[in-house]
Each structure stands twice: as structure tokens, then as C-alpha cells.
Chains A and B, each alone.
Chain A
């Protein structure tokens, strides 16, 4: 009996040592980079199928009332966005005219590296994607990544030789400054790690903020230019005893259907 438990103990110890070696290997950059490329190669066909299926499965678990409420919420958001887009377009026209008056040349100085999403990894601790551009293309950590429609997708989290891992805004490691679309000063600090929404902390109590207001980047972060759309205010948490408000922002970047992203390499 005793020899049997000793035998099991030895087996456990050997398994644990082997696993420990593998766990250490899994943290090395060379293994992570190479395996990322290899796994993305075998995962990408399944990711395409998953994109096609999309959120169809969610309908099974939603009640009729929930679906109607969501539809109404989306319609409200569309209306709100249409109003903002109209205001934005008008402001842009005015700016262009003002720049012409001042004699500035049009055009911007940003360098954007287009990258293809090789594979998406939605796991419990983080939502990240592997893109096909890496250190050789000038990608650096903390650079901003945007979608085709201009919404902030995430930040570069890890860089390998030919690939890079982009973490979504909902990742617990992401921290960046945000502001309201109409304002010029930083409103608060955006933090991930709160499920599908991003928490915006340290917002002053007297701030005039409403549900569905658009939050954009404030430009306080060195690699993230100001004015990139982050998302819409989803909930406002107000504690009369606390000096600050807490906002919960729903990111606008489409996760499911995005296949191409742009990595911003210089300020807009």
C-alpha cells in the first residue's frame, strides 16, 4: 500500500516537473512567436466559419422581450450616431475651410500599417488577435490599432519578429485616457477587465455626460493619437459620497467581422 502511494507520488512529481518546463517554455518569446504563427495557420479556417456563424447562437438564449429591448437600444444608438456624424461632418467642413483661410496644406502625417488578422483568441482572461505584421514592419508595443471605420480596436500588446498580438480594449492590461467627443480635455482613465465593456474611472462628478455619448481617445498616451472613437457610454455609476463618476463604455469596434486593421505608427 505504502509503495503504491510512493509510486503515485513519484509519478505526480515527474508530471509536474515536465509541465513546469513546458509552462516556462510557453513564456519565452521565441516559442510564443513561432507557435502563434503555426496555430494561426491551422485556426484561421475555423475562425472564418465562426465569423460566418457570428452571434446567431445568442438568439437561442434570449427571450422575445430581451431581443425587442436590444433592438430598441440599437435603434436609439443609430439615431444618436447619425446626429453626431452630421455634426462631425459639418465641423470637418468648417475646419477645412478655416485651414484654407490660414493657408495650411491639407493632408495628414500619420503612418498607418495595414495588417491582416491571422487568428482571434477569445479566452477567459483576454481577447486578443494575432496580426501578420511584427517588429520587422516597425510595430511596437502600445501602438494604437484601429478598424477600417476608424474605431479603436485595441493596443499592440506583444511584438514578435513577423507577427504581433493586439489586445482589445476590454483586456485588463489596457489603460488609456479618454474624453467626450465634444470636449478637449481628458475626461477619465479607461480600464479593461470588466467583461465586454470598458470602465472609465476618475470622471469628475459635475461632468455633463449622458448615456450613448461618444467617448474618444484624449491623446494623453504617447502612441495613441487624440480623437479616435472608442465607444458609447453604456452605464453611469454615480455615488453621491464619491468625488468621481464611473462610466461603462461599450467599444464600437466590430470584433467578429474585422479581418483588416491599421496600426498607427505616428500621431494623427
Chain B
């Protein structure tokens, strides 16, 4: 497989992980909005979102950090 294509695919997979986690964040945001609008236990919703959202973004950041960190010494034969 040609190395340029390989690299593109790797970047795409990384982007997909970001898309997934952003999707989760949007979902939680939507639930926050709903609970606020319907006065349906907004405090519980806020409490959980504060914990959940940063975890996902930390994970994605770690993956991205590893990917870029590895690229510095990358060489394809």
C-alpha cells in the first residue's frame, strides 16, 4: 500500500474518533438543553455532563498526541 494513502487513512480514522466524541458531546448538550427547557432535573444533567464530556475529549487528545508524536520519526520503507 502506498504510504501517502496509508497516512491519509490514518488521519481519517483519527478525525472519525474526534467526530464520534464531538457527537457524544453534542448529544449530552442536547440533553442538557432539553432538561433545562422542560424543567426536568437539570441539576442531575449538569452534574453528569461536567464529568462525562471532558473524559471523552481527554481520550481523543491522548490519541492525537500519540499520533503526532509518532509521526516525527516516521519513515516508510
Q: Do A and B bind each other?
A: no
A residues adjacent to B (C-beta < 8 A): none
